[in-house]
Amino acid sequence: MHKSKGDAGLIKALDSHIEEHFGGNFYVLDEIDSPLVHVDLFIVPPAQDRPYHVLFTCGMAEKPMTVPEGFEPRRFAELTLSLPQDWPMTKDAWKDERWWWPLRLLKQMARYPHENETWLGFGHSVPGSTSGVPFAANTQMTDIAILEPRTISEEAATFHDDDRGEVSVWALFPVYPSEKEFKHRRSAQELQQLFDSDGVTELVQPGRGSVIPFE
C-alpha cells in the first residue's frame, strides 16, 4: 500500500480497487499541503487496451459530504478523469498551467464540498472561475460538470471502504459555457446523451468543439 499522510483505510481501499480493475502498475502524486482533507492523485499509466492515463482523487471521501435528506448513501465520493497518452506527466511539465490544470481541477473539486458545506454528485456543475476565464491557454473550456464515468467500467465506478461503505467515483468533465447552460436548461442526462453521441468523455480534449450545435 502506498504510504501517505492521508487516511490509511481509504488509501488501502482505493489501492486495492485500482489493482483489481487496472493492475498494479500505477503511481501516486502525494499531496504536501492539505487543507481540510489530504488529496492524493492516483495515476494509472496508459496500456495497450487503454491509450490514456486514468487519474483518481484519494481524499475527497476522508469526510462525509453535506448531502440533502435521502441522499445519505452519496455522502462519500471520489473523482476521476483521463488524459491523453501523450499528455506531459512530469513535475517539470506541470509547472506550465497548460499541462497542470486537469490535475489542479481534481484537487480543487475534491475539496470543494468540504469548503462549501455542500456535496457533489451526478449532474452538478461548478464554475471554473468567477470571471469565466478559460482553465488555461490551451483551452476555451471554463466550467466543470460531474457526470458518469465513460473511460472506466461501471464496476470501477464504485468501491468499498470498511469505514465508509460504498464510495462513488464520479467523472469530472471540463465543459464550455454553452454546455453548462444546456445542462441547466434541459438536464444532465441530456447533456451526457449528447456527449455519448459525440464521443465526448472525461478524457480531456482541450481543443474539442462544443456539443451544442448552435454555439
**pTM of the predicted protein model:** 0.95
How many residues are present in the chain?
215
User: What cell does 199 get?
Assistant: 464521443
What mean pLDDT, rounded, does the chain reach?
94
pLDDT in tens, 119-174: 999 999 999 876 789 999 999 999 999 999 999 999 999 999 999 999 999 999 99
Per-residue pLDDT for 50 more than 80?
A: yes
pLDDT over 60 (residue 215) = no
Contacts of 43 (CB under 8 A, 6+ apart): 26, 27, 28, 29, 53, 54, 55, 89
Cα separation, 181 vs 121, in Å, equals 18
- 64/78 Cα distance (integer angstroms): 11
When pLDDT is averaged across residues 187-201 and rounded to a whole number, the result is 97
Question: For 182-191, how does the pLDDT look when each residue is reduced to its tens digit (9 = 90+)?
Answer: 999 999 999 9
